Amino acid sequence: MASVACIGECMVELRQAQGGASAGQGGGLYSRGFGGDTLNTAVYLARLEVKVDYLTALGDDALSDEMIAAWNAENVGTRRVVRLAGKLPGLYMIQTDGKGERQFFHWRDSAAARQLMSLPETDELLNSLMSYDIIYLSAITLSIYDQAGRDRLFAAIKRARLLGTRFVFDTNFRARGWPDRDVAREVFAAAFAAADIVLTSTEDLLALYPGESTDQLMARIPTPELVFRLAEPVSLLRFPGGTREVRAEPMTNPVVDTTAAGDSFAAAYIAARLAGSDPVEAAQAGHRLASVVICYAGAIIPGYAMPPKKRHRPAASRQAIK
């Protein structure tokens, strides 16, 4: 069975409740949950029947216990989660406007996950990457480590790729996570050079390379397989043997919350590719799932709302993505 290692950070999430803000108070009621971009992808991968482990560090507190229980309930593997005494997970708050667009506020400087690349357990964790078919992480993942930690992670990914593991990089870019854009550009270039598949968007790349055309942005990414999502619900694909444009089907339901649109797209794309679908079919699957996710509040939609599973052509796990 194909397996995926998702590396990243899950945080405590505070979301403004509908109708919670009171006139003149600027605050209101918030509900508590958990979330993080790569964790969202891991949950959707598990729901799509992909074997997935989440690699991160948590504290030894009750909130971290709740996270572990929730991931296990979603069939996300937790054997690679390191627990750190006296530490806590990070915290973020989401505010969503009337169009479903969101704004994030983070408190994460001392979060346990930031130490993942500098622990006694780190070598064992990184060596385990060779046992997976896919390593998936995002730019947010890379932003929480220092340069030494990123170098250590990239070295482990390169070793794993020599044994057939594939590296999928998602450019989920949040400017506040980086000391400056020059550092981010250097890290992105290193990730592009190492990746087998890059999932990106105009929203991410124009923030780093303002004013560049789509062709210029795509030319920056040498990876053999590229999925470039435009501002409209369209993906431009580049892969060995061709290029294609894939349009999402027209929406029939109102957009409620765009949180995890890209995370769910990534999960459906990876799941389809592992199952033997070509990039075009995989992008279609990504658009289908994302178009459902944005019709619900929050990053993780109810299980009953998941679209029907599409059966793909069978494929040997490590040969499914070439």
Q: CB atoms < 10 A from the CB of 85, how many?
A: 8
Q: How many CA atoms lie within 13 A of 168 on its CB side?
A: 25
pLDDT tens-digit readout, 38-56: 999 999 999 999 999 999 9
Provide the β-strand partners of residue 11.
35
184: alpha, beta or left, given left = phi > 0 and alpha = psi -120 to 50? alpha
Sequence letter at residue 11: M
Nearest-CA neighbor of 170 among 193, 194, 139? Answer: 139
Catalytic residue among 133, 170, 257, 263: 263
- Fold for the domain defined by 3-19+29-319: UDP-N-acetylmuramoyl-L-alanine:D-glutamate ligase (3.40.1190)
- How far is Cα 294 from Cα 37, in angstroms, rounded to an integer? 14
| Residue 314 confidence (pLDDT) above 50 | no
Q: What angle is formed at CA 78 by the lines to CA 46 and CA 35, rounded to 5 degrees?
A: 65
Q: Report the C-alpha gap between 301 and 47 in whole angstroms.
A: 11
DSSP assignments along 86-97, one per residue: T----EEEEEE-
Domain locations along the chain: 3-19+29-319
**Mean pLDDT for all residues in the chain:** 90
> Residue 315: its pLDDT value, please?
45
Neighbours of 122 (CB within 10 A): 18
**Residue 318 confidence (pLDDT) above 70:** no
- Does residue 79 register a pLDDT over 90? yes
Per-residue pLDDT tens for 8-23?
Answer: 999 998 877 765 544 3
Q: Model pTM greater than 0.85?
A: yes
Residue 152 token pair: 């250590």
Per the model's pLDDT, the better-predicted residue between 101 and 78 turns out to be 78
The span from the CA of 48 to the CA of 68, in Å, is 20
Higher-confidence position of 38 and 32? 38
263 assigned to active site: yes
